[in-house]
A and B are shown apart, each in its own frame.
Chain A
Amino acid sequence: MDIVKLSAVEIKEKILKNELSATEVVKAHLNRIEEIDKDINAFISINKEGALEAAEKVDEKIKNGEELGALGGIPIALKDNIVTKDTKTTCGSKMLENYRSPYDATVVEKIKAQDGIIIGKTNMDEFAMGSSNETSFFGPTRNPVNTNLVPGGSSGGSAAAVKAEEVALALGTDTGGSTRQPAAYCDIVGIKPSYGLVSRYGVVSLANTLDTVGVFGRDVSDAALMLSAIVGYDEKDSTSYENPTHLVVEKDLEPTEYIKGMKIGIPREIYLDQIDKRLIGVMDKVIKVFQSLGAKVEEITLPHLEYGLSTYHVISAAEISSNMARFDGLRYGYRAKEYSTLDELYINSRNEAFGDEVKRRILMGTYYLSMGLGREYYEKALKMRTLIIDDFNKAFKDYDIILTPTSPILPFQLGKLKDEPLTKDLTSIFTAPVNLAGLCAMSIPCGYVDGLPVGLQIIGDRFKEMNIIKAGLAFEGGMKNGI
């Protein structure tokens, strides 16, 4: 039995049935990391001792006949912008190269409380700004599908770790597509929950009205398991909600059963000029799969979708400029060696510790919030956000889910778009509007073109996670059955 190939659901079952010990599971994954991570660079830090200790506790529980938590014995990786007491939290930046948080994020507490085993912290674009994992201070992560390709970003390390079988599950974050796009690029499942479903407490803010914690698994059931373990209202996060739907998946149904009676919308606006033309064929195939499963598929319109990316760009940059201000070199993090005034301390520390992408966004965001022309962009973006929300609200009156490609661009070669930040931003064109509207969405593998994995995005209304999970299970089953 190759332990690392087991799904999270399988690992849990085997541990419960005493066919495997948690320690065996953890050791197998640690070995896998040892063996492969030098080629992938998915991890920034690995908590070997902590993981083995946690595994022992799980085995002890099994031995004593105690009840095991929902994540019992499953090896999990965390994106390095989710704070943990046991390991440092770098956000992929020189600024926090040696930063150790005095507290655990709420999601970390939930994982620990449910016997999940945190293996380590994963590589990411610096402060989650990027879509290829190339802006990390700790070097780029490579795509396990093909190490010449980028894994996507900014949660590229988490996606790669799951794909490379270094862990079974992982958490990422998703502000404009940072979970779904790397899931698509690494050929796995990624879910971005509705804004407020999962607590953001302890997740280092990028753009706080858009940020969500995302989950990765190699199939829909695994991703759903991960998600169901971290949802729920948190008194420490005023923007969190009690889970309004129960994330309970009926197992082993026929694919058609999952999708019975669902109405699916395909926005006509997705066929834009910048889209990779090979995706049009893929979408046709996807539509056929859903139709053959018995779903009703219709063309819909989201008139403001095309403004989603610029709206996202302005709002996220504005929030970023404010959120990044606390990294001033004074209380924690990097401090410049040379300075003679307080202002110089700020300027030199930030200048020396932040990478270009971070600086670019801080500059843009500062401009968008400043009096004058910049401010007009920001005010306009806020208005456009409302129009985009209205578009989705209208669509969800008649449709249960909406389908788009996850990214309009297929996985690209490492370094290829290094000097084209705008093209890289384009990868968020279908994902960012979902964040603007606070909806939920999943990226699910839908085949390969020319050796490159393609992700399908399934969008659901806010707090209708069950719709996307069911549609995902149906589609996964349909693909497996070769429909």
Chain B
Amino acid sequence: MAYKTIIGLEIHVELATNTKMFCACPNTFGGEANTHCCPVCLGLPGSLPVINKTAIEYAIKAGIAFNCKINTKTKMDRKNYYYADLVKGYQISQDDIPLCEGGYIEIELEDGAKKINLQRIHIEEDTGKLTHTMDGDTLIDYNRSGVPLIEIVTRPDMNTPEEARLFLEKLRSTLKYIEVSDCKMEEGSLRCDININVVDTETGAKTNITEIKNLNSFKGAVKAMEFEEKRHIQLLKEGKNTVRETRRWDEVKNETVTMREKGEAEDYRYAVDGDLAPIEIPDTWIDEIRNKLPELPHHKKERFMRQYNLSEYDAGVLTASKDLASFYEETLKYIDDTKLVSNWIMGDVLRRLKDEEVEIEDTKLSPKALGQLLSLIKSGKINNNTGKKVLREVFETGKDPEVIVKEKGLIQITDESQILEVVEKVLSENQQSVIDYKNGKDRALGFLVGQVMKATKGKANPQLVNKMILDLINKM
């Protein structure tokens, strides 16, 4: 039997504006509860919202980056419902005319690129944050109330959890590229809801759509989708169907659990918010934003291939995050060797980041330090293996590679006279290996070089050692 999974996403992204959506309160994460508040974001009687132009600008930026049509005449609407985190009994959002419509994000699959279409991007305000205590109380912090959000809604165009992950990675990296959000899932500045169901392609039977909420990481999202995919397929196999419901990902149990059943569609009684004048966006403003837009990931990738003569794969890895791409370009200012830098970043540096689960900007390694280190290697002052050790030390201490090399006396020995004695000693102590080599066992040479390196604590230039051993053996 064959099954097709259908996945659509709704992503809420907090915009990194200085102030909130409709008032001058600071838009910063955290802070003592209920201190970043004013009559407007608390919805006090008589207060009125005034729209934050930067929030609109950021949303347009996202719209342009994701190839959307920007609606030049739009408006803000009220979405009416009651909840403790909602101060006015309605959320200011957009109903029938979203700021951005359509658009797509392209993801790279093994068999080529795939377009994931977007339905819309609209702007709205965030709500307060509820914390449920162990005592059964609920505490409300309205610092987040009125923080500007964009909601990005995709078409159900993804067919595997992996596609959804690639989509989310691309979305996040692009939003960070254009600097409209820091996209930190753990701080809630990027939140993702998943709609998923499965079709039996042979019989045409399909499960009801399940919505999954409460996802705190991309990893969790993928696990949740994989879990749901299996659950839906199992039910189809049993000739059953899923319940139309909202589920939540339980990180501890590693499974999705029912949150609430979806009854009739909720009626939010949308109506235009008369407190905010209709929004008219001049084409000249859109052009201005478009012209100011930083280089997008795929443009940067093409440029890297062209300018630095990198393979498509290497350029793709280096431009996946804006910070990594700038790190690469920064490093080139200190050492003019595009291949060497890319090899080291793609190798030891990325491995380290992956192991520690950190981003490049969170480490002690600076482009200058990496440049210095690679210069030491390139000029032959230290060898590759020493370089790796020094890099580890830089990650840990943040010290200059030159200082580390000097302090630990790691400078490569390139003076033959300094090594000759050691080489002669190694050869006399390992006569069997010399004989082996002469009898055609090439591996014996490696062993001999290794012994010399060991004796010099890795400081000898391996090529030089190689050459000297061969010279001596040939003279024997």
Complex interface bits, A298-333 against B, C-beta within 8 A gives 1, otherwise 0: 000000000000000000001101101111101110
**Contact between chains at B277 and A319 (CB < 8 Å):** no
- What's the tally of chain B residues with a CB closer than 8 Å to chain A? 28
User: Which A-chain residue is minimally distant from B83 (CB atoms)?
Assistant: A342
At the interface, yes or no: A409 with Cβ under 8 Å from chain B? no
B87: A residues at CB distance < 8 A? 326, 331
- Please measure, in the bound complex, the distance between the C-alpha atom of A200 and the C-alpha atom of B82, giving whole angstroms: 25
User: Which A-chain residue is minimally distant from B271 (CB atoms)?
Assistant: A369
5 intermolecular pairs with C-beta atoms under 8 Å apart? A103-B39, A318-B271, A321-B269, A328-B89, A369-B271
Q: Which stretch of B42-50, B283-291, B299-307, B459-467 is in the interface?
A: B42-50
- What's the tally of chain A residues with a CB closer than 8 Å to chain B? 45
Query: Which residues of B are at the interface with A, using a C-beta cutoff of 8 A?
Result: 39, 42-51, 78, 80, 82, 84, 87-90, 267, 269-271, 273-277
- Please measure, in the bound complex, the distance between the C-alpha atom of A209 and the C-alpha atom of B46, giving whole angstroms: 14
**A325 contact from B45, B80, B276, Cβ within 8 A:** B80
**Contact between chains at A369 and B274 (CB < 8 Å):** no
User: Which B-chain residue is minimally distant from A103 (CB atoms)?
Assistant: B39
**Contact between chains at A326 and B46 (CB < 8 Å):** no
Query: Which residues of A are at the interface with B, using a C-beta cutoff of 8 A?
Result: 81-83, 89, 91, 96, 99, 101-103, 105, 200-205, 207-209, 235-239, 318-319, 321-322, 324-328, 330-332, 342-343, 346, 366, 369-371, 378
**A238 contact from B44, B267, B277, Cβ within 8 A:** B277
A209-B274, A342-B84, A369-B80 known; A322+B46 contact, CB < 8 A = no
A350: min CB distance to chain B, Å: 10
**Contact between chains at A332 and B275 (CB < 8 Å):** no
B90: A residues at CB distance < 8 A? 322, 325
- Please measure, in the bound complex, the distance between the C-alpha atom of A263 and the C-alpha atom of B176, giving whole angstroms: 62
Using A89-B46, A200-B48, A205-B46 as known contacts, list a sample of 9 further A-B pairs with CB atoms less than 8 Å apart, ordered by residue number in A: A89-B45, A91-B45, A96-B45, A99-B45, A205-B275, A322-B271, A326-B43, A326-B88, A327-B45
B89: A residues at CB distance < 8 A? 322, 324-326, 328
User: Which A-chain residue is minimally distant from B89 (CB atoms)?
Assistant: A325
- Please measure, in the bound complex, the distance between the C-alpha atom of A326 and the C-alpha atom of B83, giving whole angstroms: 10
B280: min CB distance to chain A, Å: 13
- Please measure, in the bound complex, the distance between the C-alpha atom of A460 and the C-alpha atom of B90, giving whole angstroms: 35
- Please measure, in the bound complex, the distance between the C-alpha atom of A453 and the C-alpha atom of B460, giving whole angstroms: 111
- Please measure, in the bound complex, the distance between the C-alpha atom of A223 and the C-alpha atom of B43, giving whole angstroms: 32
- Please measure, in the bound complex, the distance between the C-alpha atom of A99 and the C-alpha atom of B46, giving whole angstroms: 12
Closest 4 CB pairs of A and B: A325-B89, A209-B274, A369-B269, A202-B46
A103: B residues at CB distance < 8 A? 39, 44
- Please measure, in the bound complex, the distance between the C-alpha atom of A101 and the C-alpha atom of B40, giving whole angstroms: 12
**Contact between chains at A239 and B274 (CB < 8 Å):** yes
User: Which B-chain residue is minimally distant from A96 (CB atoms)?
Assistant: B45
A236: B residues at CB distance < 8 A? 48, 50
**Contact between chains at B45 and A238 (CB < 8 Å):** no
User: Which A-chain residue is minimally distant from B49 (CB atoms)?
Assistant: A238
- Please measure, in the bound complex, the distance between the C-alpha atom of A96 and the C-alpha atom of B45, giving whole angstroms: 10
A318: B residues at CB distance < 8 A? 271
- Please measure, in the bound complex, the distance between the C-alpha atom of A342 and the C-alpha atom of B138, giving whole angstroms: 11
B51: A residues at CB distance < 8 A? 238
A208-B274, A319-B274, A325-B90 known; A371+B267 contact, CB < 8 A = yes
- Please measure, in the bound complex, the distance between the C-alpha atom of A319 and the C-alpha atom of B275, giving whole angstroms: 11
A370: B residues at CB distance < 8 A? 267, 269
- Please measure, in the bound complex, the distance between the C-alpha atom of A209 and the C-alpha atom of B276, giving whole angstroms: 10
B277: A residues at CB distance < 8 A? 238-239
- Please measure, in the bound complex, the distance between the C-alpha atom of A99 and the C-alpha atom of B44, giving whole angstroms: 11
- Please measure, in the bound complex, the distance between the C-alpha atom of A89 and the C-alpha atom of B271, giving whole angstroms: 28
**Contact between chains at A208 and B45 (CB < 8 Å):** no
- Please measure, in the bound complex, the distance between the C-alpha atom of A301 and the C-alpha atom of B97, giving whole angstroms: 36
- Please measure, in the bound complex, the distance between the C-alpha atom of A201 and the C-alpha atom of B276, giving whole angstroms: 12
Interface centre among B44, B80, B84, B269 (most CB of A within 10 A): B269
**A105 contact from B46, B267, B269, B273, Cβ within 8 A:** B46
**Contact between chains at A237 and B48 (CB < 8 Å):** yes
**A326 contact from B45, B48, B267, B276, Cβ within 8 A:** B45
B275: A residues at CB distance < 8 A? 205, 208, 238-239
- Please measure, in the bound complex, the distance between the C-alpha atom of A208 and the C-alpha atom of B92, giving whole angstroms: 14
A57: min CB distance to chain B, Å: 25
Interface centre among B42, B47, B273 (most CB of A within 10 A): B47
**A328 contact from B78, B82, B274, Cβ within 8 A:** B82
**Contact between chains at A322 and B80 (CB < 8 Å):** yes
A99: B residues at CB distance < 8 A? 45
A208-B274, A331-B87, A369-B80 known; A102+B46 contact, CB < 8 A = no
**Contact between chains at A319 and B49 (CB < 8 Å):** no
A239-B277, A322-B78 known; A83+B269 contact, CB < 8 A = no
- Please measure, in the bound complex, the distance between the C-alpha atom of A207 and the C-alpha atom of B272, giving whole angstroms: 12
A91: B residues at CB distance < 8 A? 45
A330: B residues at CB distance < 8 A? 84
**A331 contact from B42, B46, B276, Cβ within 8 A:** B42
**A378 contact from B78, B267, B271, Cβ within 8 A:** B271
B45: A residues at CB distance < 8 A? 83, 89, 91, 96, 99, 101, 204, 326-327
- Please measure, in the bound complex, the distance between the C-alpha atom of A392 and the C-alpha atom of B80, giving whole angstroms: 33
B88: A residues at CB distance < 8 A? 325-326
A369: B residues at CB distance < 8 A? 80, 269-271
**Contact between chains at B50 and A238 (CB < 8 Å):** yes
A38: min CB distance to chain B, Å: 29
B148: min CB distance to chain A, Å: 16
User: Which A-chain residue is minimally distant from B264 (CB atoms)?
Assistant: A371
A237: B residues at CB distance < 8 A? 48, 50
A314: min CB distance to chain B, Å: 11
- Please measure, in the bound complex, the distance between the C-alpha atom of A381 and the C-alpha atom of B44, giving whole angstroms: 29
B273: A residues at CB distance < 8 A? 208
User: Which B-chain residue is minimally distant from A91 (CB atoms)?
Assistant: B45
